[in-house]
Structure 1
Amino acid sequence: MAPKQTTRSTPVTTTPAPIATTTTLVTNAQLQAMIDQGVIAALVARDGNRNGDDSHTSGTGGRRTERVVRECTYQDLMKCKPLYFKGTEGVVKLTQWFKRMETVFRISNCPMENQVKFSTCTLLAGALTWWNSHVMTVSQDATYAMTWADLRKKMTNKYCSRNKMKKLEAKLWNLKVKGTDVIGYNQRFQELALLCVRMFSEESDKIERYVGGLPDMIHGNIVASNPKTMQEAVEMATELMDKKVIGPL
C-alpha cells in the first residue's frame, strides 16, 4: 500500500495597505524664525532660574549683563553705625559727626539726593529742634534739595560762633607736631581743616600749612618730595616718622 501523501498549504502573506503621509514644506525663513524663538525661550528660562543673579562672564565672548546696584535705604545707612549729634557736644564732636557721616555715605553707597534726608535723622535734642524749625521755615522740598556741603556749612555756622571760628583758625595756623606724634597731629589737623574751610582756597594751601607743622627731622624730606594731595602728604609724613622712630625693618 503506497504511503499516504500529505500536502502543505502555502501561507498567505498579507501586505498592509500603505499609510498616507502628508509632507509640509518649510521655507528657510520659517525655519530660522522657529530657531530664533527656541533660543529666546531658552534664554528667558535660564534668566528666570538665576533668581536675579546678575553675575556675568567677561573676556570669553559670553553674554554680559550689567550689574544692578540696589539703592541705599535708611536702614542700610543706619547699619553702618553713624554718630548722633545733639548740638551741645562742641566743635570737636561736630567735626567727628561730619567725618563719620561722610564715611557712612561711602560705605552704604548713599546717593547725594538722600544724604541730607538720612543724615538729619541722626540729630537729637536741640539739634533736632533747630532742624525741624528750619524745615518748617523753608519747606520740606526746598530743605531736602540741599546738598551735604550746604548742610555742613549751615551747621558749622550754627554751632561754631564767629569767635569760636577765629580761635579754631588760630589753633590750626599754629598747630605743630608734638614730639614725634604725627598720628595725633594728622587727626587734629584734619578735624580743624574740616571746619576752617575759609582758610584754604586751594588744596596746595592746605598742604603747605600741614607741612609747615611737621618737625625738622622730616620736614625737608616732605618739601623735597612735593606732595600733590593731602593724602599723599599725610602718608609720606607718617611713613618717614615711623622710620625715624622705629628704624628700618
Structure 2
Amino acid sequence: MAPKRITRANPAATTTTTSVTNAQLKAMIDQGVTDALAARDADRNTNGDDSHNSGTGVRRTERVARECTYPDFMKCQPLNFKGTEGVVELIQWFEKMETVFSISNCSVENQIKFSTCTLLAGALTWWNSHVRTVGHDVAYAMTWTDLKKKMTDKYCPRGEIKKLEAELWNLKVKGTDVIGYNQRFQELALLCVRMFPEESDKIERYVGGLPDMIHGSVVASKPKTMQEAIEIATELMDKKIRTFAERHSKNKRKQDDNQQQQQNKRRNTGHANTAGSGKKKPYGGSKPLCLKCNYHRDGKCAPKCHKCN
C-alpha cells in the first residue's frame, strides 16, 4: 500500500490563472466601447447635447431655441389696430409688430396668424372678409411684406399717398432738428415705397434734405445704407450743436466781462464826480468878505486882467 501524501494548504499563496485569448479580449473591448456610446447617447437625449466642454471638466449644455407660441408673442405687448387711427398709427403698428417679431423669435409661418390677431373693429372685419374671399390657407400663407402692402392700399388712399409723397419729396431739416427729420422721413418712406426702387435712391433723397452745414460731409462719407446715413448725419449735427453752444457760451462770457468793466468804469467815474462836487466848507475866520471877488481878505482885492480875468 502506497503511503499517503500530506499537503498543507496555504490560501495566501494560492493563485488562480485564467487564460484569455486575443479574440475574447477584442470582443470585451468592443462591448465596452458600445456600452459607453450608448450611455452617452442616453445622457444626451435626457440632458441635451453635452459635446461642448469648457476644458475644466464642466460640461456646457447647448440651448435649443424654443418655438414662439401665441402667449409668448402677446407677452411682448404688440399694438392693436382698428383701422381708424390714420396713417401715422398704421406706420407705428408696422414698426411695433416687426419689433415683436424679432423679440419673440416668431417664425415666418406664424407672423400673419399672430399679427392679424391684434386687429380690432373695422380692421378685423376687413381681414375676416379677405379670409372668406381667398380662403384660410391662402390668406395666412401671404408674407408680412404682402400684408403691409395690402393694409397700406386699404387704409392709405391713393390721394393721401400722393400728398405724403409730395411731403417726402420736399422734406428738409428745420434748423438743426435732424432727429425730427429722421423720424418723419422714415415714417413717410414706409408708405411711399414706390419712390425708392433702390436703397441708393432713398439715401440720395435723405441726404438732399440735410442742411448745408453737414450736407457736404455726409456726401463725402458715402453711406451705403440708410441707417449709416442717419447715424453720420446725427453725429455731425450733434458736433455742430456742441460747437455752437461752446461759441455762444464764450461770447456770452466776453459780453458779461465787457458789461462788468463798463459798470465798474461808470461806478469809478461817479465816485470821482461825487468827490469833486462836494460842498465848500464855510469860512471860519475873522476877515471880512470882499463883495467883488467873494473871498475873505483884508483890504482891496488885486486888479485883474480884462482879457484873461
What's the TM-score bracket when you normalise by the shorter of the two chains? 0.7 to 0.9
- Structure 1 residues not aligned, in runs of 5+: 1-11
2:157 aligned residue: 161
- Give how far 1:33 is off: 1.4
Superposed CA deviations along residues 141-182 of structure 1, whole A, max 9, x for unmatched, are 000110000000000000000110101111111111111111
Superposed CA deviations along residues 76-108 of structure 1, whole A, max 9, x for unmatched, are 221222111000000000001011111111111
| Residue 38 (1) aligns with residue 35 (2) | yes
- TM-score, normalising length: structure 2: 0.69
1:78 to 71, 74, 77: 74
- TM-score, normalising length: structure 1: 0.84
2:116 to 96, 101, 120: 120
- Give how far 1:185 is off: 0.8
Structure possessing the higher relative contact order (Cα contacts under 8 Å, 6 or more residues apart): 1
Is contact 1:54-1:67 (8 Å) kept? no
1:149 aligned residue: 145
CA distance in 2, matches of 1:203, 1:85: 29
| Residue 109 (1) aligns with residue 86 (2) | no
Q: Name the stretch that deviates more: 27-36 or 107-116.
A: 27-36
- Give how far 1:115 is off: 0.9
**Cα–Cα, structure 1 residues 177 and 68, in superposed 2: closer, same or farther, change >3 Å?**
same
- Give how far 1:73 is off: 1.4
2:93 aligned residue: 97
Q: Which of the pair has more CA radius of gyration?
A: 2
Structure 1 runs (4+) greater than 3 angstroms displaced: 16-26, 52-55, 57-60, 62-67
1:15 to 9, 16, 20: 9
Paired positions, count? 236
**Cα–Cα, structure 1 residues 186 and 59, in superposed 2: closer, same or farther, change >3 Å?**
farther
Structure 1 counterpart of 2:174, one-letter code: K
RMSD: 3.0
Tell me the percent identity: 69
Matches within 5 A, 1:59-78: 67-78=63-74
* Matched residue SS, 2:52: coil
Is contact 1:55-1:67 (8 Å) kept? no
- Structure 2 residues not aligned, in runs of 5+: 1-5, 247-309
Matches within 5 A, 1:195-206: 195-206=191-202
